[in-house]
Amino acid sequence: MTDYFAKSALLPRGWSDDVLITVDDNGDIESLMPNSRASRGAVRLNGPALPGISNLHSHAFQRAMAGLAERARTGSQDSFWTWRDIMYKFLARLTPQQVGAIAAQLYIEMLKSGYTTVGEFHYLHHQSDGTPYDDLGEMAHWVVGAAQRTGLAITLLPVLYTYSGFGAQTHKPQQRRFINGADRFQRLIGDLHQRYSDDPQFTLGIAPHSIRAVSKGVLSEALTGLNRIDATAPIHIHIAEQTKEVDDCVAWSNQRPVTWLYSNFQVDERWCLVHATHINRMESWMVAHSRAVAGLCPTTEANLGDGIFPLGLYMRGEGRFGIGSDSHISVSPVEELRWLEYVQRLRRQLRNVTASERQRHVGARLWNAALAGGAQALGRKTDGLKTGNRADFISLDGDHPLLVGRKGHAITDSLVFSGNTNPVSDVVVGGRHVVAEGHHAEEEKIARAYRKAIGELMA
């Protein structure tokens, strides 16, 4: 059992002072007492404490290519699809060890910026020529190992990728590292469940890559298989990131992707629709009404020129959302939340667009919404500092200039909207104090291994 003491903490009802947080040996919050004194031996946090946010969408290996696709090609208009060609070239040579080194470096960065759980949308399964490794889960083990080593909680979402386009088109050679049919996919998730189900920091879900990469039959089989393991496990899918994807889906089925999904499957709170960027009014209502989570990745969606999610409309319908750093062009919950709001401001020429009558503080509103949506989407009890939830929280540096004189929701507003210096000081995940005063015990070793892996890849 460990006690943590915060001079102020964001609890479900709002900010409270002098909060004693007691964590049991499983890493759950046993009790939370505002207006307390620090117990003997309590770890004193040196600034305001907040529940840690989930990063619900990550492709870890892409961290190593952030910044390498920003040189315009000659003679062609760059788009998501030209970026994807570069990404395919990059991943063709990656070894499991390199993927592990990249993931560990990334996960340290996530922790230090305030994320406490990652949803890893894991599609790099096989060797470069498409032959499975002797252990089907080889790549996954390196990714999970990186999470375990750094202390970041992980919801692993092995990706079901069977086809290259709508109507069961045969995969391209560049996609052979991703491909599984229903049977092999079932073996993969069965193995992973068996190996990791005892780890309270691990959750298993699945991710049909996109409607274009599966068929109705293959997806139905995968869902049946998943339900045999865990009928509550999360299901994530890339849904409508690009207008070309929407157009191709309409040409194939006469329906837009979200409409097709809802016509063919029972979509509920287990589902996370990643990049629900191009949805119409009716689809926005359908997603909100189904209580699924929209997985929004504002910095990546901006970087790739995807488009703008209709956040105002969706939030007015009480739609749920969470954030992800996806391609890791940025690793910061603050930057994701800020972009979410700023894009809407630019589009509508208004301020404080995502405020509501009940919560006028935009920073607090966004933090709490992404907190709840992320926890739901990753299937973890992390939707706030409450008894019985995982002990996942961060504390800010109370002496940081951007927090001087801030109290209550002005802390969250200042955190989200006032700068690019990181005020996160301490991070606790599942009760484990993994970042202390901005430092992670493994960071030097992990950075060395990362530099070595990048050296090999750039050679």
Residue 275 to residue 288: CA distance in whole angstroms: 14
Amino acid at 142: W
Q: Which residues contact 200 (CB under 8 A, 6 or more apart)?
A: 26, 27, 390, 430
- Helix 409-417, helix 362-378: angle, nearest 10: 80
Instruction: Report the distance separating Cα 306 and Cα 180, nearest Å.
Output: 27
**Which of 384, 411, 413, 387 lies closest to 400 in space, CA to CA?**
411
From the list 377, 433, 303, the residue with the least C-alpha distance to 55 is 377
Please confirm, yes or no, whether 326 is among the known catalytic residues. yes
What is the spatial distance between Cα 169 and Cα 154, in angstroms, rounded to a whole number? 32
What is the maximum span of the chain, computed from C-alpha positions, in angstroms?
A: 68
Residue-by-residue DSSP string for 3-20 = EEEEEEEEETTEEEEEEE
Given 125, 141, 275, 409, which residue is catalytic? 275
Q: Within 10 Å of residue 433's Cβ, how many Cβ atoms?
A: 17
Which of 59, 122, 238, 326 is catalytic? The answer is 326
Question: Which amino acid is present at 403?
Answer: L
Residue 81, token pair as written in the block? 């699809």
Q: 10 Å Cβ neighbour count for 381? A: 13
- Termini Cα distance of the chain: 48
440 is catalytic: no
Q: Which residues are part of the catalytic machinery? A: 275, 326
